[in-house]
Amino acid sequence: MKEKQRRYIKIDDRVFLSDAFATLPSGALKLWIDMRTQFKGSNNGNINATMSELAHRGWTSPDTLYRALKKLLARGLVDRTRVGKPGPYRICSLFRFTDLPTAKNEALFIKGKAATCEFLDWKPEGKRKKNRATEIVAAPLRKSNRYNYGNRSIDAPTATETVARKSGKIDRKAAPVLDSSEIGERDTQHYGNRTSLYIPGGTGTKNGGAAVEVGSGLELARAPKIHHPPREL
């Protein structure tokens, strides 16, 4: 008695090594294999994924089967060749494997088509991440554009200026030049017969500011002395 010829499930290396196939969930992978067993060499495009066809392969839940089929369609491993219709004269949907050519079948309204291999274009989400380091350096700091000190304000440094200071192109210790006309009374501190100007952000005081002695060129407003006439007796 002649032994029956055996069939093998063909898995092309383009399929096996692709991201779409290598990262398949277990349910979708099982469905792809179960559907592949229906391929007989010339019936690609006439593959179905019905419960009646796959029940003997261990499928018991239509919802689980639908979710697995949706994965295969989204990754381009299979494609629909005929849309099913419900009702008393219902027909099932038919599918083709995109890595194999499809023979024309006029009785089933299946068009002939060469292998399209849409699965090669599928990539996992988050595989390509942009490097945003250059964007962070070029963007201004997310702070107020100006620092307010008393009745004056100083522009906040940008990110590019910060990088320049770190590289030594700009002196880190450079202090802002203040116009004497912008100095208010509350910005000065009196120590005996000397007057000092308090600059926030320095290192000369306990609170992180710097006390700078005001030169003779800066005249401070003082209250005039009041002379009382002698009282008559």
Q: Structural domain of residue 91, as residue ranges?
A: 13-121
Instruction: Tell me what the mean pLDDT of segment 165-185 comes to.
Output: 56
Judge if 17 and 117 occupy the same domain.
yes
In degrees rounded to 5, what are phi and psi of residue 64? -65, -40
Give yes or no: residues 193 and 161 share one domain: no
pLDDT at 55: 94
Per-residue model confidence (pLDDT) at position 44: 94
CB 183 within 8 Å of CB 197: yes
Residues 86 and 117 in one domain: yes
147 shares a domain with 109: no
Q: What is the DSSP letter of 189?
A: E
If asked whether residues 37 and 103 sit together in one domain, one would say: yes
| Structure confidence by residue, pLDDT tens digits, 89-115 | 888 999 999 999 999 999 988 989 999
Predicted model pTM? 0.54
Question: Of 42-46, 109-113, 191-195, where does mean pLDDT reach its minimum?
Answer: 191-195
Residue 42 in any domain: the answer is yes
Q: Do the domain assignments include residue 136? A: yes
Do residues 165 and 181 share a domain? no
Please report the pLDDT score of residue 217 as a whole number.
44
Are 96 and 153 contained in the same domain? no
Sign, CA dihedral 201-205-210-214, equals positive
- Asked if residue 100 and residue 20 are part of one domain, the reply reads yes
The more confidently predicted of residues 173 and 32 is 32
Evaluate whether residue 224 is within a structural domain. no
Predicted pLDDT at 57: 93
Instruction: Please give the residue that has the higher pLDDT: either 206 or 113.
Output: 113
Average pLDDT over every residue of 10-19:
93
Per-residue pLDDT at 10: 86
Q: Which residue has the higher pLDDT, 60 or 163?
A: 60
Q: Based on the domain organization, do 24 and 107 belong to the same domain? A: yes
Task: Give the bridge partners for 47, in sequence order.
Answer: 95
Q: In this predicted model, which residue has the larger pLDDT, 214 or 150?
A: 150
Number of H helices, E strands in the chain: 7, 7
- The domain that contains 85 carries what CATH number? 1.10.10
Q: Are residues 210 and 148 in the same domain?
A: no
User: 137 and 117, same structural domain?
Assistant: no
Q: Residue 222 domain-assigned?
A: no
Give me the pLDDT at residue 220, please: 43
The average pLDDT across 220-233 equals: 54
Picking from 98, 121, 144, the residue at the C-terminal end of a domain is 121
Average pLDDT across the chain, whole number: 74
Tokens of 128: 């390509």
Task: Determine the pLDDT at residue 224.
Answer: 52
Mean pLDDT, to the nearest integer, of 9-31? Answer: 95
* Residue 56 lies inside a defined structural domain of this protein: yes
Confidence of residue 204 (pLDDT cuts 50, 70, 90): very low
pLDDT of residue 22: 95
In 10 A of CB 199, how many CB atoms?
A: 18
pLDDT of 48 higher than 50: yes
In a domain, 227, yes or no: no
Q: Is the pLDDT of residue 72 over 60?
A: yes
pLDDT of residue 221: 43
Q: Residues 159, 136: contact at Cβ < 8 Å? A: yes
pLDDT of res. 155: 58
Structural domains counted in the chain: 3
Q: Has residue 47 been placed in a domain?
A: yes
Whether residues 95 and 140 share a domain: the answer is no
For the chain, state the CA radius of gyration: 41
d(CA 24, CA 47): 20
The 10s digit of each residue's pLDDT in 116-164 is 999 999 999 876 555 554 444 444 545 455 555 555 555 555 656 666 6
Q: Is 151 inside a domain boundary?
A: yes
Q: CB–CB of 94/46 below 8 Å?
A: yes
